[in-house]
Copies of this chain bind each other. A is one copy, B any other.
Amino acid sequence: MSKLGFTQPLFTVDNVMFAIDQGQLTVLLVKRGIEPYLAAWSLPGGFIDVQVDQDVQACARRKLEQKTGLTPAYLEQLQVFSGAQRDPRGYSVSLAFFALVPYTPVSSQISSATQASWWPLEQLDSLPLAFDHREIIQQAHQRLQQKALYSLLPVFCLPSTFTVGQLKTVIETILGREIQRKSLMRRIEASGMFILTEHKQASGGRQAQLYQLKPGVDITHFSRNMGNA
């Protein structure tokens, strides 16, 4: 049995927070202000503060708040990325989180020197990213796409009241292809997750019903995947 006093790895937390902006799936990144990877873009995260953070989830929320000023609408563990090589400072273990939020501009509301910004996934190829963050983002993206097939998780990319059309667009952006409005409406009703409100107009056309998440409901997992996948 191991005793205390062993060399421990560096434990950190990273957040992959997604939002939809102008029909594009975007991820929140911060520009690093210190070595290593100085001035490279990276996932908002950092070391846990055992005095402050009740658990790793709380740590993830705090890091997001501090580095970007945003609070995730949805947050779950993704997976651990680890190894001796991934961080030049030493053996590193990083727990990546996967988060969703309605799009909110972020450029000016951060007090610290670090710069935060939303980046469309499509533009990441040409962006210098720190550590193995490119791979982490890719894993998170896959998870998001998977969940969009068997749940309505993408609602967390929308404001508290939204229309079916908006949700359809968000899901299509995440999946990268079109889905049937009819199928989506069937799921919205079958899930029982939502309540109705008044009306609202969209760009020229019939007014759309506004939906709202019932407080405290769990996300329904459907027994079949959507989108013939």
Looking at the assembled complex, report how far the CB atom of A122 sits from the nearest CB atom of chain B, in whole angstroms.
26
The reply to whether B33 and A1 form a contact with Cβ atoms under 8 Å apart is: yes
Chain B residue contacts of A93, Cβ below 8 A = 11, 48, 56, 95
The reply to whether B48 and A9 form a contact with Cβ atoms under 8 Å apart is: yes
Count the A residues whose beta carbon is within 8 Å of the partner chain — how many?
39
Looking at the assembled complex, report how far the CB atom of A108 sits from the nearest CB atom of chain B, in whole angstroms.
20
**Dominant SS at the A interface?**
loop
The reply to whether B6 and A91 form a contact with Cβ atoms under 8 Å apart is: no
- Proximity bits, A71-102, B CB within 8 Å = 1, else 0: 00000010110111000011101010000000
Given contacts A11-B11, A46-B1, A47-B8, contact A55 B34 (CB under 8 A): no
CA–CA, A1 and B47, complex, Å: 9
Given contacts A1-B114, A79-B77, contact A49 B224 (CB under 8 A): no
- Proximity bits, A39-82, B CB within 8 Å = 1, else 0: 00000001111110011100000000000000000000101101
Chain B residue contacts of A54, Cβ below 8 A = 83-84
The reply to whether A50 and B7 form a contact with Cβ atoms under 8 Å apart is: yes
Looking at the assembled complex, report how far the CB atom of A226 sits from the nearest CB atom of chain B, in whole angstroms.
9
Looking at the assembled complex, report how far the CB atom of A61 sits from the nearest CB atom of chain B, in whole angstroms.
13
Looking at the assembled complex, report how far the CB atom of A32 sits from the nearest CB atom of chain B, in whole angstroms.
8
The reply to whether B77 and A80 form a contact with Cβ atoms under 8 Å apart is: yes
Given contacts A56-B80, A84-B54, A223-B225, contact A9 B11 (CB under 8 A): yes
CA–CA, A4 and B91, complex, Å: 13
- Proximity bits, A14-35, B CB within 8 Å = 1, else 0: 0000000000000000001110
The reply to whether A2 and B84 form a contact with Cβ atoms under 8 Å apart is: no
**The 7 residue pairs across chains A and B that have the minimum distance between CB atoms:** A2-B47, A50-B91, A223-B225, A56-B82, A55-B82, A224-B224, A2-B46
Q: A6-B47, A56-B82, A77-B79 are in contact. List 4 more A-B contacts (CB 8 A).
A: A50-B91, A149-B223, A223-B224, A224-B224
